């Protein structure tokens, strides 16, 4: 398919890197592609970043048929690189499947993204810990208020320079173990990157923030016993000499940072398992002195050590509130590969 390109005539002023935060600034261009039943995916274009107008009746506004992805481009020794973009677009297609959205061509999406990032390469910040966050998403655009899968869609990619997702940066975050609300159940949308899952998380997130916590730890929606994931991250625990993360069970998001950490840890010969873990087991391990550290993994959050867990008003401090050894090694190695400071034996990094 042809990719049309229209460059902006009014480039924006770029923000200083020390005020970036996360998700507030957007680059000069965006990618858009339309879907209709008669033409399939068509009219792929890169255009100046701008407002888009839609009829109030389009289906995404009413029934939330929307999915998204998150990945990053890094300034690496003067070059610009992406991290595992194929994984993101494959996962986008899995989300398409879950929400009755027609799939995209993965290779075309990667090529279009490379072009978009290339055009806005001056927007990729180069201070330590910064990157260009990339947000691909698909929304239902048929103007119709009957409940059924839309017959029209738009696939859009926007990008913007970011710093750390949490104000804590790589410092440990406080996590509240959620008892009242659930994020997803098996058979629902939990393993898709559906916008609906994030809507479902807001209330719990707001209440946890009011209590002074950065994020919530979700338990399974049926028994409220087994650990699933943390707000915007997957979660790992170091129990004695075992590094454990919840097995993907249909309601957990299959994180690409999660997968990369598992591959890194296994390549170091460590004892890694993906299995069911109950919150009770974590607290018992803590009592026995076996809970050495815990951390979250995600594109936006990178590796985020957990310094405190609070479950049923029982609050425990992990790794003395410091960054644990495994969290540290993973952070250094993963970001080392992403910024091309260390070798990439897996072939994860893709040059733009
Ligand atoms: C990401 O890590 O890219 C995510 O999608 C989390 C996001 C909701 C901030």
* Ligand 1 atom at minimum distance from 23 CA: 9
* Ligand 1 atom at minimum distance from 301 CA: 2
Q: What is the pLDDT of residue 237?
A: 97
Q: Is the CB of 260 under 6 A from ligand 1?
A: no
Which tokens belong to 313? 């008003």
Helix then strand count (H, E) for the chain reads 8, 18
In the chain, residues under CATH classification 3.20.10.10 are 173-338
pLDDT digits (tens, 9 = 90+) for 44-58: 999 999 999 999 999
Q: Is the CB of 255 under 6 A from ligand 1?
A: no
Q: Is the CB of 300 under 6 A from ligand 1?
A: yes
Q: Mean per-residue pLDDT for 64-74?
A: 97
Asked whether the predicted pLDDT for residue 311 surpasses 80, the reply is yes
Q: Mean per-residue pLDDT for 117-135?
A: 95
Q: What is the pLDDT of residue 202?
A: 95
Q: What is the CATH number of domain 173-338?
A: 3.20.10.10
- Residue 301 neighbours by CB under 8 Å, 6+ apart: 165, 166, 232, 233
pLDDT digits (tens, 9 = 90+) for 165-195: 877 777 889 999 999 999 999 999 999 999 9
Q: Is the CB of 232 under 6 A from ligand 1?
A: yes
- Collapsed DSSP state (helix, strand, coil) of residue 162: strand
Asked whether the predicted pLDDT for residue 67 surpasses 90, the reply is yes
Task: Compute the half-sphere exposure of residue 261: CA atoms within 13 Å on the CB side of its CA.
Answer: 31
Q: Mean per-residue pLDDT for 314-332?
A: 92
3-164 carries CATH number 3.40.50.720: no
pLDDT digits (tens, 9 = 90+) for 208-258: 999 999 999 999 999 999 999 998 899 999 999 999 999 999 999 999 999
Q: What is the pLDDT of residue 322?
A: 87
In the chain, residues under CATH classification 3.30.470.10 are 3-164
Measured between alpha carbons, how far is 156 from 135 in angstroms, rounded to an integer? 8
Q: Is the CB of 201 under 6 A from ligand 1?
A: no
Q: How far is the CA of 166 from the centre of ligand 1 (A)?
A: 12
Q: What percent of the chain has pLDDT over 90?
A: 91
Q: Is the CB of 70 under 6 A from ligand 1?
A: yes
Q: How far is the CA of 255 from the centre of ligand 1 (A)?
A: 10
pTM of the model: 0.95
């Amino acid at each position: 398919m042809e990719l049309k390109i229209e460059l902006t005539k009014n480039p924006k002023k770029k923000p200083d890197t020390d005020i970036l935060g996360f998700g507030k600034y957007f680059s000069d261009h965006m990618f858009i592609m339309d879907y209709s039943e008669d033409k399939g995916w068509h009219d792929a274009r890169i255009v100046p970043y701008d407002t888009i107008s839609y009829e109030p009746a389009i289906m995404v506004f009413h029934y939330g048929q929307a999915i998204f992805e998150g990945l990053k481009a890094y300034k690496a020794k003067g070059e610009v690189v992406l991290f595992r973009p194929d994984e993101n677009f494959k996962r986008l297609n899995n989300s398409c499947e879950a929400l009755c959205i027609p799939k995209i061509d993965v290779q075309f999406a990667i090529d279009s993204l490379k072009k978009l990032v290339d055009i806005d390469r001056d927007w990729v910040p180069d201070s330590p810990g910064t990157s260009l966050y990339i947000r691909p998403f698909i929304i239902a655009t048929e103007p119709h208020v009957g409940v059924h899968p839309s017959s029209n869609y738009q696939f859009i990619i926007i990008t913007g320079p970011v710093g750390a997702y949490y104000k804590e940066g790589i410092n440990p975050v406080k996590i509240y173990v959620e008892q009242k609300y659930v994020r997803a159940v098996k058979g629902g949308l939990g393993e898709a990157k559906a916008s609906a899952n994030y809507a479902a998380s807001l209330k719990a997130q707001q209440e946890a923030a009011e209590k002074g916590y950065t994020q919530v730890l979700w338990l399974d929606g049926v028994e409220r016993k087994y650990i699933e994931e943390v707000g915007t991250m997957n979660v790992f625990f170091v129990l004695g000499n075992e590094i454990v993360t919840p097995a993907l069970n249909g309601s957990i998001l299959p994180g690409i940072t999660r997968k990369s950490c598992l591959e890194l840890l296994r390549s170091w010969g460590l004892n890694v398992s993906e299995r069911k873990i109950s919150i009770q087991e974590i607290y018992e391990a803590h009592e026995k002195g076996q809970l050495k550290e815990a951390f979250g993994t995600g594109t936006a959050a990178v590796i985020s050590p957990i310094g405190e867990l609070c479950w049923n008003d029982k609050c425990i401090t992990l790794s003395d509130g410091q960054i644990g050894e495994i969290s540290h090694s993973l952070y250094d190695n993963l970001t080392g590969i992403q910024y091309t400071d260390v070798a990439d034996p897996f072939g994860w990094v893709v040059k733009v």
